[in-house]
A and B are shown apart, each in its own frame.
Chain A
Amino acid sequence: MKTNKFKIIALSIVGIAMFTSCNNDDESVAPVTPATTDFSGTYVQKDQMARPAINTVFIASGAPKDAFNTTIPSTMGASYQSVFESRLLALNSGYTTNALGQTAAQFTGLLATDVLGVKKTGTTTFFDGTNVLTGRALADDVIDVELLLIFGGPTGTSNAGLTSDNVGANDKTFSASFPYLASAW
């Protein structure tokens, strides 16, 4: 009994030592959530987002946007593909296929379900010339990719003035390490 008590105390001391040894100015071991903190209640969806700019481009502002923001992704395709297709053809009435070989129905069928596909191994990028829709990295020029697919036609050469905004990079350099995003202006 006495031995057990001693062991428990010894373990506690080791535990404390391990806990405190990892602390430094910028990085600390996150404490376990305090039991006293209240996280109760029900939380109801207000906004959602996955692929950049997609729902903003293809869903009209105002009430339709609020409705889209609370439509679960598994039902988006059935509810919004035709809406997206109408918008695509309004944006580019000359649309035939895009650089991925997609018809208007195929392209908007992909876009209407607004989730970001992410590969678990290898390069994660919206598009880097080789990999297509394997994630979204900070430096990806996602707008040019989308403009090209909307306006660029089957070879990416149609509507030259509309297929790039000629802003190719962020205004601050990203960090190679966590938290990756640049400091605030």
Chain B
Amino acid sequence: MKKTKMLLGLSFVAISGLLLIAADHADAPAITGNANDITDVYAFQGQDTNNMVFVVNTQGLLSPGASATAVFNENVMTEINIDNTGDNVEDLVIQAIKRGGKMYFFGPIAPGTTGTSSTVKTAGASGSVDISSYGGAAITSTSNGMKFFAGPRDDPFFFDLNQFKAILAGTATGFNNPGTDSFAGTNVLATIVEVPKSLLGTSATINVWAETKQKQ
């Protein structure tokens, strides 16, 4: 009985048009399939435990063939937002934007204004790195105690998305064992920055979210 109810619930969800495209790959019409589309955000302690690593991946589900020609867009800024006062309003931002063959990084620095509209905080320039090419070695750079990377990487996300879709569609009642990673063999464009924790304020915890912002 319980199971029937749940299946009914799932059917309702499927009918109402909710499709999970995880983790956040291609999720909204305004951005699907373009350089603004964030697939995943990671924040973790670095190999040097004095540092925090932020990863923002975009342009998901790139096949190896498509990865060679996938490029960052000079009109799209990636912004990592950091709240260190617990009010879910950004106190610091780290910005990344492409110019020529390089990705330029700014911050951590207080934003000019919080919210959905930003300018590049050129006063907070922290470094840049040559954008790594598909098939080549990872090019990294360091400056101001920070490390930088931008370029194609394997998508680190894993999930049997296709089976989940089948469950939502009512054509399956559960996951398979073993499951199939729908993201196996696919790439993303990754922007990665490692930052001394001392640059993130003095709070015990931070709230983090990433945004893409388009030049007007």
Contact = CB atoms under 8 A, between A and B. Distances in A.
B88 interface: yes
A61 interface: yes
Contact of B23 (A44, A142, A185): A142
A33 B104 contact: yes
B170 interface: no
Contacts of A48: 38, 209-212
Contacts of A123: 45
A170 B125 contact: no
Contacts of A110: none
B42 A184 contact: no
B64 A44 contact: no
Interface in A18-49: 25-33, 37-49
Interface residues of B, number: 118
Interface residues of A, number: 93
Contact of A44 (B97, B159, B167, B213): B213
A183 B104 contact: no
B71 interface: no
Nearest to A61: B19
A130 to B, nearest CB: 15
A55 interface: yes
A180 B44 CA distance: 11
A122 B2 CA distance: 41
Given A26-B139, A171-B181, A185-B64, A37 B99 contact: yes
Interface in A103-126: 113-125
Nearest to A38: B99
Contacts of B19: 61
* Residue of B159, B210, B213 with most chain A CB atoms under a 10 A cut-off: B159
A177 interface: yes
Contacts of B79: 43
A177 B147 CA distance: 11
Main SS at interface, chain B: mixed
A114 B82 CA distance: 13
A52 interface: yes
B153 A50 contact: no
Contacts of B76: 46
Interface string B171-187: 00111111111011111
B157 to A, nearest CB: 7
Interface in B149-164: 149, 152-154, 156-160, 163-164
A31 B128 contact: yes
A179 to B, nearest CB: 4
A94 interface: yes
B158 A70 contact: no
A170 B184 CA distance: 8
Nearest to B144: A30
A14 interface: no
Contact of B153 (A113, A178, A184): A184
Contact of B192 (A115, A121, A179): A179
Interface in A52-92: 52-53, 55-57, 60-63, 65-66, 68-70, 72-74, 76, 87, 89-92
Contacts of A99: none
8 contacts: A39-B99, A43-B118, A49-B23, A49-B210, A73-B81, A92-B6, A167-B159, A178-B192
Interface of A: 25-33, 37-50, 52-53, 55-57, 60-63, 65-66, 68-70, 72-74, 76, 87, 89-94, 113-125, 134-138, 141-143, 159-162, 164-172, 174, 176-185
